[in-house]
Structure 1
């Protein structure tokens, strides 16, 4: 089983959301691993993979050192297509597919984090959203409470709908909250919009993805994960 995680923008909380989802899968009694499709802005083991392991409560794994959990790591902090080009490399979707397939053979669930926002180009010809749609992975979309999120979220949902990409849940990340009135209205609007366009798709609020989630939020995450799992 593969669960994809993407967001309405870069720096929106995808990495923390991925770690939280992996933890929820663990709590549901399933073996789980996280994958980062492409990491930019670092060298060696992908920094987002390191954050996943921290949130999962485990150390770095041998498959992390081997690069299986993140087949592409580029030093330039840019979109994958540009960061790869600077290194004289082109991101090959088949390489990502093989990594995912091998992880899937070892674990019950692979929680796969994308790079940047939903529409980021993986290479000159392929957008992240098209890659996800090609494989029909259930998507957990991370949004936020900051100004502009309604527009970005609706555009992302529309892009998924046009490609028949299933939305498993929308995670509403409040870590970057700047205005309580805007934050409250944004959540209400998104919940209303999803009720009319995608009934049954939950909006799960994450008060702060930088810390351990407990209580009702943890239960909502668990329910969302269970609804996705076979």
Structure 2
């Protein structure tokens, strides 16, 4: 059985993709995979997700590429005299043995982050035939970044599930939803400390909406 891939991408770096991935993984009791990890001085994103989920069904799969330099993946790969190959990633995904109906796949940075000299995160999404969750953090400029991301998704005809917002600010969410035409999955409130209990609570809130949109 091949799990349905749900690709978590964002409007940029540090918008909360890992937290969103943990919450969605917990909500669906899905498997989790970060195919390309660039930089892990503070631990990998897979390790963070594992530390934040509570259910016993999710399987955390190993990375296809684990790169030392915390930089754009194509640069980090270049520093290690290697090149990220989308076919390697896709073949690894096909080799996963799991009865789980869903696998959450976390991207790196935004949708146009380069993976090599010719291909980007968006190309990987298409190659994996993944559904897409867009993560947007509320900051000055996020409307522009969010709508640019949405426009590219529409141009490539990606199957977007909807928006997951971080850090409520003014009325950005409604405007981004209305202008993009993509629905809102939910909004993750700001917390100084992210705990398993918080992730579990947010997962319970989001689960009905996620299942509705999926």
TM class, shorter-chain normalised?
0.7 to 0.9
> Counterpart in 2 of 1:51?
48
The answer to whether 1:125 aligns with 2:118 is yes
Residue 141 of structure 2 corresponds to 148
Question: TM-score normalised to the size of structure 2?
Answer: 0.86
Q: CA–CA distance in 2 between the matches of 1:101 and 1:148? A: 38
Relative distance call for 1:90 and 1:145 in structure 2 (3 A) is same
CA RMSD of aligned residues (A): 2.5
Q: 5+ residue gaps in structure 1?
A: 27-31, 178-182
Runs of 5+ in structure 2 lacking a partner? none
Matching of residue 171 in structure 1 with residue 174 in structure 2: no
1:22 counterpart = 2:25 = yes
SS at match of 2:113: coil
1:58 Cα deviation after fit: 6.7
After TM superposition, the structure 1 = structure 2 runs for residues 69-80 of structure 1, keeping only pairs within 5 Å, are: 69-80=62-73
Corresponding residue for residue 227 of structure 1: 212
In the other structure, the counterpart of 1:36 is: 34
Aligned residues: 206
**Counterpart Cα distance in 2 of 1:165 and 1:101:** 20
| Structure 1 residues 24-83: Cα deviation after superposition (integer angstroms, max 9, x where no partner) | 002xxxxx210002111127x961000110111379x9x86xxx5211111111011010
- Write out per-residue CA displacement over residues 150-206 of structure 1, whole angstroms, 9 at most, x where no aligned residue: 0000000001000000110201101xx7xxxxx213123113224xx34xx224111
TM-score (norm: length of structure 1): 0.80
Aligned partners of 1:16 and 1:52 also within 8 Å: yes
